[in-house]
Chain A
Amino acid sequence: MSELPPLVFQAPVADWGWQIAWFFWFVAIGGGLAVAYWQVRRAAVAFTVFVATALGLLLVFFHLGRWWNMPLVLWELIRAGEFNLGSWMFLGVIILTVHLLLGALAAYAHAEDVGIYPPFGDRVREMTEGALFRGVFAANGVLSVVYSGFLLTQAHGIPLWGTALIPILWLISSAVAAVAVLELFYVLGLVDERVSVAGMKLALGLDALKLIAVLAFLHVSLTAMSAAARAGAEELVSGSLAWLTWGGVIGLGLAVPILLAALMLRYGKSKGLIAVSAVSSLAGVLFLRASVLLAGAWEPLLG
């Protein structure tokens, strides 16, 4: 076996690190809660979708190395009439912009709930209560989460990301994040008991699914043909990123919520434990995204 040169990780070169992880995290919350809005039509849900999507877009916009060039970029696109519909990033820009607009509409419809009475509030409320709006909102929420997964799978330089498990993992963890936010809303008195009761059982099932998906992702990567995928997975399991995997993704993100849910199912609910469990789950969703990003490396060319 030849002595391979050290792997080149993408984060120092392409800078897809924590800021992109936060962007994915906000997309996960905005997307997951848009699906929840089908059932839980509350102001807090609508406002959170809007704010999370807006924050995510702001983060990713200012992550651009040439964000100040965007007006010229848009002008050139429109002038030439050429749009790269084959690029997941271009599709993502459209999906997230639509999601921001839908989130704004939903928030507008709930303005009355917080004592603001904007013009045409009744009409907008009537529209957003309809199955068509809620269906489109939920579907776009799923699309925005799926997009953030396919964004990575299409980055052909990073073999660790070239697996369909990532969009699936993103979807499951987005559902975990949405349930965690609903549980926090229950603690804060923004949604009622029924939402929380359904949430705890759902969260337990989702955590189990997420654990299977995380372990599948690590297993597939550890046994992949690609040396970079294997090395990236080794970093996650026993290397410099192991603290993020075992402490953040598995420990905080899965073990703590599962343990607390089991305790509460046995001994009864506690708002304090629900809050700890929800925050822990949300942290796990962020750590999952960060760990997958930071472990991404190029295939060694020499060896």
Chain B
Amino acid sequence: MRLKPGEQPTRRLAHLWNEAACIGCAACVISCTATNNPEMLYRADEGRGGVASNIRRYEGVTAQGRPTLLLNQCAHCDEAPCMKTCPFGAVYRDENGLVRLDSRRCAGCRYCVTSCPYNARWVHPDTGLPMKCMGRGCLALVAAGQKPACVQACPANARDFGDLNDPESSVSRTLRTKRHRTLLPNSGAKPKYFIVEEV
């Protein structure tokens, strides 16, 4: 359900990734594509390169020579820039606090793509739609009371998903007890994708 201006979501669903627990197997990346865009399993995301997934994998090396890994995705920001810039209101927030796309209102201008500080979107080569977390498959899983595909697929329990408004949810408990951060905290977008830094 699309929230009207001024309405507050009843839940604030959020993703959490534990970088200390992650073993970098990419099961979440592949399960995301398999669940949400199975037609892209054997096709690359031509724009960004690599697998066409709503989860993006970045690799680098620190000054000490230590390899470092980042998994990134849509943060369903509380002040989502993509919602503000979309000319036709195709990007909206639902009752669960998720930032979603109404394909009927999307003309494919890709303003949401350039508006996202996290480069979380990729453009589907067949439909021209700007894709991101959460896809249709995961939305169906969440509606059925399950966790999204990436959380279910992770063999190291490095991922979680839950309601920030519920103090007893697993994500709320983790965020209360473990050191964590968000990406580009000064972006002003108030992202809800949390990176936990300790096991």
Are B189 and A87 within 8 A (Cβ)? no
Q: Which residues of A contact B84 (CB under 8 A)?
A: 84, 86-87, 154
* Total count of chain A residues near the partner, CB < 8 A: 46
B87 pairs with A156, CB closer than 8 A: no
Interface stretch, picked from B30-38, B102-110, B153-161, is: B102-110
Q: What A residues does B90 contact at CB under 8 A?
A: 73
Residue of B nearest to A293 (CB): B114
Residue of A nearest to B186 (CB): A225
Q: Is the CB of B189 within 8 A of A14?
A: no
Q: Which one, B6-14, B123-131, B137-145, B163-171, is touching chain A?
A: B123-131
Q: List A residues 86-127 near B (Cβ within 8 Å).
A: 86-90, 92-93
Q: Report if A301-B184 is in contact (Cβ < 8 Å); known contacts: A2-B61, A66-B107, A72-B104.
A: yes
* A 202-224 binary contact with B (CB < 8 Å = 1; else 0): 00000000000000000000000
Q: Could you say which of B85, B107, B110, B188 contacts A67, with CB atoms under 8 Å apart?
A: B107
B117 at interface, CB cutoff 8 A:
yes
* Contacting pair B108 A14 (CB below 8 A): no
A77 at the binding interface (Cβ < 8 Å)? yes
Which residues of chain A come closer than 8 Å to B184, judged between CB atoms? Answer: 299, 301
Give how many B residues have a beta carbon under 8 Å from the other chain's beta carbons. Answer: 47
Q: A157 near B47 (CB under 8 angstroms)? A: no
What sequence of 0s and 1s flags, for each residue 59-73 of chain B, a beta carbon within 8 Å of any chain A beta carbon?
A: 111110000101010
- Kindly state the separation between the CA atoms of A82 and B184 in the bound complex, as whole angstroms: 31
Interface of B is mostly: loop
Are B61 and A15 in touch, CB under 8 angstroms? no
Q: B63 touching A89 by the CB < 8 A rule?
A: no
Q: Is the pair B111, A73 in contact by a Cβ cutoff of 8 Å?
A: no
- Residues in B with CB closer than 8 Å to A87 are 84-87, 111
Determine which of B105, B107, B113 lies in contact with A64 in the assembled complex, contact meaning CB atoms within 8 Å: B107
Instruction: Taking A87-B84, A87-B86, A301-B184 as given, write out 5 further A-B residue pairs in contact, using a Cβ cutoff of 8 Å, ordered by the A residue number.
Output: A3-B62, A14-B123, A67-B107, A73-B105, A76-B102
Q: Which 5 A-B pairs have the closest CB atoms?
A: A65-B108, A65-B128, A66-B108, A89-B87, A90-B87
Q: CB within 8 Å of B: which residues of A?
A: 1-5, 8, 10, 12-16, 63-67, 69-70, 72-73, 76-77, 80, 82-84, 86-90, 92-93, 151, 154-158, 296, 298-299, 301-303
Q: Which residues from chain B sit less than 8 Å from chain A, CB to CB? A: 46-48, 58-63, 68, 70, 72, 81, 84-90, 102, 104-111, 113-119, 121-123, 127-129, 183-184, 187-189
